[in-house]
Amino acid sequence: MSAFSESITLTNPRDSINAKTGLIPQSDVRSVTVNACVDTGSWFLVVTEKVRAALGLEITGADTATLADGSTKEYPVTEPVEFRWKDRKKAMNALLVPNSDEVLFGALCMEALDLMADPVDECLVGRHGDKALYKLK
């Protein structure tokens, strides 16, 4: 299957909570929409330094990732970031690959949203149909 991208909206969930509680106006919630590479060979959500900075995400630790060539490397891990595809959303920590210019939407992201990669049409589809298993509020 060749690589393909999908439009994914990334949001700082801390900002969303602060807006809901009235600490900041809704207009101050940091959010970006990116064309993320759907990568079934990657486990994680991988963000770039530009995305991390735009969302104001803090680094909370590090994790080791195995690269496509089989080598391993330690990368910084951000605090949770909310990711949204159409009417589905979840949040998880992301790996930060400092010199990358591409956001990767990995297998854990797809699993969290009950999605799978359609290799024929090269797009994301609902694993159990196109209706989300839950409703966004």
Q: Are 28 and 15 in contact (CB under 8 A)?
A: yes
3-class state of residue 17 by DSSP: helix
The DSSP output letter for 40 is: T
Q: pLDDT value at position 112?
A: 93
Number of Cβ within 10 Å of residue 14's Cβ equals: 20
* Gyration radius from the chain CA atoms: 15
pTM, to two decimals = 0.87
pLDDT digits 0-9 by tens, 43-52: 899 999 999 9
The maximal CA–CA distance of the chain, rounded, in angstroms, is 47
Question: What are the structural domains of the chain?
Answer: 4-126 (2.40.70.10)
